[in-house]
């Protein structure tokens, strides 16, 4: 097969892929519900992601042809291959930026669809070194004792951790809160007037399908607290 014909096929394939991508893209519809907008964003993201591998293959092929033509002293064809390679590299850079924008918008929409407070029922916790008793998780008698919950496919981002607990005068210490990658520590102080709700701070969630774990990090005596409720509040609320 002649080099010039190979180049023509390569350029035609690249043009077809990009034309198909442009034809499939849909414009935003201000009247669409958040659910439909989220579906469209996911569709556009999937479309771009599917186009990346063929586009990279075209760039690699053009680089090979460019060297081949230069070796054969077919400089016009080499220049054509070089120019097309650079054009596709610019297109790849544009798609990378567009993909990042779509992911950001998709994350913001997912966050807007979350409830104001994400509750973690105590009875759904996986317990290690602690026990569920009288409607509370108690018995945090050693460092490392923990309660864990499966996160409900949350979009990545910051979440304020709200704890409702009772801590007697002889109890308390430090609690470690963690997800797949990030951690947060908070002091467990005496609750003078009975159970209280307190903010432990904001935990960054990197993997919303991983696990939320609360574990005793330091103890004053033989129990950290009686944990009554755990909730997450999206930081944008």
Q: What are the pLDDT digits (tens) for 147-187?
A: 999 999 899 999 999 999 999 999 999 999 999 999 999 99
Q: For 32-42, how does the pLDDT look when each residue is reduced to its tens digit (9 = 90+)?
A: 687 788 888 88
Q: Which CATH superfamily is domain 118-234 in?
A: Galactose-binding domain-like (2.60.120.260)
Q: What is the pLDDT of residue 20?
A: 47
Most confident of 14-28, 92-106, 192-206: 192-206
Residue 11 pLDDT more than 70? Answer: no
Residue 13 pLDDT more than 70? Answer: no
- Give the residue-averaged pLDDT of 41-48: 90
Alpha-helical regions (H) of the chain: 3-24, 34-71, 75-112
- Give the residue-averaged pLDDT of 83-105: 93
Q: What is the pLDDT of residue 113?
A: 72
Residue 23: pLDDT band (50, 70, 90) is very low
Q: Where are the domains of the chain?
A: 3-112, 118-234
Sheet holding 146-150, edge to edge: 126-128, 146-150, 211-219, 173-178, 183-188
Integer CA distances (angstroms), 209 to 112, 116, 154, 232, 233, in order: 18, 19, 7, 14, 16
């Amino acid at each position: 097969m002649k080099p010039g014909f190979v180049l023509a096929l390569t350029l035609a394939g690249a043009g077809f892929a990009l034309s198909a991508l442009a034809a499939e893209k849909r414009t935003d519809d201000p009247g669409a519900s958040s659910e439909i907008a989220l579906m469209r964003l996911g569709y556009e993201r999937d479309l771009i992601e599917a186009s990346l591998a063929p586009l990279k293959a075209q760039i690699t092929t053009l680089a090979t042809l460019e060297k081949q033509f230069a070796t054969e002293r077919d400089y016009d064809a080499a220049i054509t291959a070089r120019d097309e390679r650079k054009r596709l590299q610019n297109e790849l850079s544009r798609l990378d930026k567009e993909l990042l924008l779509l992911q950001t918008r998709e994350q913001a929409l997912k966050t807007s669809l979350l409830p104001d407070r994400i509750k973690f029922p105590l009875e759904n916790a996986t317990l290690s070194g602690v026990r569920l008793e009288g409607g509370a998780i108690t018995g945090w008698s050693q460092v490392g004792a923990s309660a864990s919950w499966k996160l409900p496919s949350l979009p990545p981002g910051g979440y304020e951790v709200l704890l409702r607990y009772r801590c007697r005068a002889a109890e308390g210490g430090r609690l470690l809160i963690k997800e797949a990658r990030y951690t947060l520590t908070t002091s467990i102080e005496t609750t003078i007037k009975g159970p209280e709700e307190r903010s432990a701070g904001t935990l960054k969630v990197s993997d919303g399908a991983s696990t939320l774990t609360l574990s005793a990090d330091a103890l004053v005596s033989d129990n950290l607290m009686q944990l009554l409720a755990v909730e997450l509040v999206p930081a944008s609320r």
